[in-house]
Amino acid sequence: MKRKFLLLIFLMVVVVMQAASDVPTVTVVYSGNSASVVVDDEIAEYITVNSGTSSHVSITSLTNSVEIFYNLSGSSDDGEFLLVGDYKCEIDLTGLTLTNPSGPALNLQNGKRITVSAKKNTTNSLTDGKNADYKGCIHCTGHLEFKGKGELTVVGNSKHAISSDEYVEIKNLTLNITGAVKDGIHCKQYFLMESGNVTISNVGDDGIQCELEGETSTGEIVDHEDEDTGNVYLLDGTLTIQDYGGKAIKADGSIFNPGGTQNFDMNDTTGITVVKTDGSNSDGAIYDIRGQRVTEPTRGIYIQDGKKFVVK
């Protein structure tokens, strides 16, 4: 009886593992001036490969209810990944070195949530060309969520290294932005660093710039659903910003830094710096807008237990 029970457990584990690995995938492998693109049969009706075997891969994903995974690997010094679609998807980097001399390395023409994941134990590199008419080496018309336990290096030779028309979130990833003509990361709505290790250096303008998408702020929203504040949230992880021409962080909203390590000058930022986001561990301490503790506030804006107040 015990043997049958163990066998049943084993079979259940096998089924779960197969289900977890059986995700609808488009596999792209770059090799010099060519690339192979393999589309799983179950999603073939949704995917159109416009580029053949060219290293400038162009894919159109039709409207559907299936989240598609794109697995990118290999190397090309004259290639790109252009994705046109209108449904959320995930792009897995599994050892990719990609340079596009004439445009973005990742050109994501999709207004939904795009996850970019650098897989564990992989090193990935993206570089764009100079003087092209686009916003970033990673150029996204939707919102970007970066994750994974691998490493990703990005260089922006035309404008920003990473550009998103909506929010940017980062979790676990080791992200190295080693150069940009303009901003290291440029986004709208909000920026959130949950964890990971991010280093931004050698950028011509701001390390991170976060703008409002609309004309007025929505105010902070639980889980950030549909939030548009221009806020920067630094919850945990290590953020290093150095060798920049503008501000370390330029935010249309506030900068929240309750956790993690910030290796840059918090005085070289815009927006109000909020040390606490709630009153769960209130101690009554007062901070100025740069996050520095003060004992006798004079004229100005201050934060106490996560709330702003003005001394006139």
pLDDT digits (tens, 9 = 90+) for 198-226: 999 999 999 999 999 999 999 888 889 99
pTM reported for the whole predicted model: 0.84
For 26-70, the pLDDT digits (tens) are 999 999 999 999 999 999 999 999 999 999 999 999 977 889 999
Instruction: Scan for tokens 């084993």, then name that residue.
Output: 10
224 in helix, strand or coil? helix
Residue-wise pLDDT for 139-193, tens only, equals 999 999 999 999 999 999 999 999 999 999 999 999 999 999 999 999 999 999 9
Q: Give the Cβ contact number of residue 210 at 10 Å.
A: 29
For the cut 90, the answer to whether the pLDDT of residue 91 exceeds it is: yes
Q: In which band, very low, low, confident or very high, does the pLDDT at 290 lie, cut at 50, 70 and 90?
A: low
How many CB atoms neighbour CB 174 within 10 A?
A: 18
Evaluate if residue 5 carries a pLDDT over 80: no
Identify the pLDDT of residue 84: 97
CA distance 206 to 28: 33
Q: Does residue 20 carry a pLDDT above 50?
A: no
What does residue 40 show for φ and ψ, rounded to 5 degrees?
-60, 140
